A and B are shown apart, each in its own frame.
Chain A
Amino acid sequence: MITGMDRLAAAARGEILDRIPVFCNLVDQGARELGMPLETYFSRGEYVAEAQLRMLGKYGHDNVWSLFYVGREAELLGCRKIKYANDGPPNVEDFVIKSYADIERLEVPDDISTHPAFAETAHCLEILKREVGGKAPICAYLTASMSLPAILMSMEKWIELLMLGPTEMRDLLLEKCSAFFQKEIEAYRKAGADVLVYADPYGSTDIVPMSMFRELSLPWMKRDLAAGGLDGVVYYVGGARVNGVLDQVIEEVGFGTYYPGPMDDIGESMRLVADRALCGAVINDIRLIDWTPEEVRAEVKRLVQRGLKISKKLFFGTILMPFGIPDANIRAMIDAACEFGRPDRLEA
């Protein structure tokens, strides 16, 4: 039987076995699957693992996730307060950095794999690895040094520091965030994650000007990834656009996989990548709430076919699927991606 792992490996070589890999970022939906409140759900690694496995069986996509919520990374750095919701993802409520003195005080844990705030994630990964390791790609979410400060001090204070200085504080914080990233990727690899999503919205010129992208975003990407290497690492900018920087990132960093945003034209992304790497056809998953299943199907078909016309180094993907997406639309999306993600379904 062909597995998700086989499909992913084939796609990276520019081949399609039965169909393209279908990646689905189902995260909060796990709580509904287990019939529990989100806060309870995120309290235990075994809940998250169990729900990921159930959803994999139920929907038939290719990957599982070890991500609980992004705020977990802030918890590893001392955040003590998370705001839970009944119908959406949890958010950081207490910012670790409230003043510049807090940047100086910020301590990067020496070993993340043994950190108490990593224990449930590690447990989740252990179960996923035992159950589907080597068959379904196990994904992890890691925030880049340029973007992590947004959840340590707020997006507002981080852009203020970036744009107005003081630069010494900016650089000190980036140093610490990069050191954290390097420890984190090591811990995730050790715990069994295969696909390491490098989340860097500040690596998109939707967020920062091109000059800053060149002066800070690119060099810090290289710093983050120098020690651990690029194996399994995916360039992802949180749903913003990447086409404007794709060529530079490929040339200067050379990730193996790129994750455009729904506002990027997939045809353009594929042309820019030009077979140098694997690239995603990514749906605007916020629209999945109101579209009819027929509309979902038509949009998936459009995206996948537009990508496949240019190259087979393609996978289908979502950003961070909102909790409110109806089940029928999740099914319609995955079914359509499986159906149209084959060269023999390509229409002229």
Chain B
Amino acid sequence: MLDDILRAYTEAIYNADRTTALAVVDAARASGVSPEDIVFKVVIPGLDMMIKAINDGFDTNLAQHFMTAHIAADVTDRMLAQFARPPEMVGHVVIGTAAGDLHTLGKRIVMGCLKAQMIDAIDLGVNVPAERFVDEAVARGASVIAVSAMMVHTARGENGAIKVRQLLRERQLEGRIRLVVGGAPFRYDPRLYQIVGADAWADNGVSAARVILDFIKEARS
């Protein structure tokens, strides 16, 4: 039965169809599926299937990424309230837009998908100075710093990811904290993440959560 639910849910998020996705979840709950199973056996595998589709070359669009994240976060929030025991967070991430950058949509998509993965994403907001990324990561015990930038000068700027890397090195935090970047300029130049000294990047906000999760698992092992 879970297979059918997963299939119906995935099809709905692929169609960016919130109403159907929520109806699938409600019907599953009514038929006795636990809130834990909804998150771990429907929502998270749904995200994975979306990532796989993107990797396999299916054309997806921004609206789909937005809705995938929105629905995943929404369902997760509602299910968490019904969990038998509060789940353990998998790890912590600090996320924000680079210094000089005010564009929030990419960050929102990434955060929505992280929430469903039980990753605590701490939102530092927009136009975040490099020092703050590092200070907050240390204070909150985050193993990943995620930086979003929509323009070339904020993606490559000396006060953006490049400076985060420099601070991580100076403070000898490189073994503990990973730097992940994303946003339009990285999509137009797939080598740019290396130029700015990041450990990884992702082409879209849904896959971003997977990249970040992999680093968190690595930090825990």
Contacts and interface: CB of A to CB of B under 8 A. Distances in A.
B63 A324 contact: no
A70 to B, nearest CB: 12
B166 interface: no
Contacts of A163: 16, 18, 63, 66-67, 70
Contact of B61 (A83, A164, A208): A208
B156 A262 contact: no
Contacts of A91: 102-103, 151
Interface string B166-197: 00000000000000000001001101000100
Contact of A284 (B70, B102, B104, B188): B188
Interface stretch (A29-37, A106-114, A286-294): A286-294
A334 to B, nearest CB: 20
Contact of A88 (B63, B151, B189, B195): B151
A287 B66 contact: no
Contact of B195 (A162, A212, A290): A290
Contacts of A212: 63
A210 to B, nearest CB: 9
A145 interface: no
Contacts of A182: none
B103 A322 contact: no
Contact of B185 (A92, A286, A323): A286
A307 interface: no
Contacts of A92: 102
B41 interface: no
Contacts of B151: 88-89, 91
B63 A287 contact: no
Interface in B95-114: 100, 102-105, 108
Nearest to B101: A91
A326 interface: no
B62 A206 contact: yes
A131 interface: no
Interface string B57-86: 001011110110010000000000000000
B153 interface: yes
B102 A83 contact: yes
Interface in A185-212: 205-209, 212
A156 interface: yes
B113 to A, nearest CB: 15
B10 interface: no
B152 A83 contact: no
B154 interface: yes
B157 interface: yes
A154 B101 CA distance: 12
B61 A88 contact: no
A135 to B, nearest CB: 31
Interface string A220-231: 000000000000
Contacts of B188: 239, 262-263, 284, 286-287
Given A206-B62, A207-B61, A287-B188, A159 B105 contact: yes
A164 B185 CA distance: 28
Contacts of B18: 163-164
Nearest to B152: A322
B105 A324 contact: no
A87 B59 CA distance: 33
A93 interface: yes
Given A289-B152, A324-B156, A156 B104 contact: yes
A207 B153 contact: no
Contacts of B70: 160, 163-164
A286 B153 contact: no
A323 B153 contact: yes
Contacts of B105: 154-156, 159
B104 A209 contact: no
Given A284-B188, A323-B153, A324-B153, A156 B108 contact: yes
B66 A88 contact: no
A225 B113 CA distance: 39
B67 to A, nearest CB: 6
Contact of A286 (B16, B64, B152): B152
Interface of B: 15-16, 18, 59, 61-64, 66-67, 70, 100, 102-105, 108, 151-154, 156-157, 185, 188-189, 191, 195
24 contacts: A83-B102, A88-B152, A88-B154, A88-B157, A91-B102, A92-B102, A93-B102, A156-B105, A156-B108, A159-B62, A159-B63, A163-B16, A163-B66, A163-B67, A163-B70, A209-B61, A209-B63, A244-B59, A262-B188, A286-B188, A289-B156, A290-B189, A290-B195, A323-B153
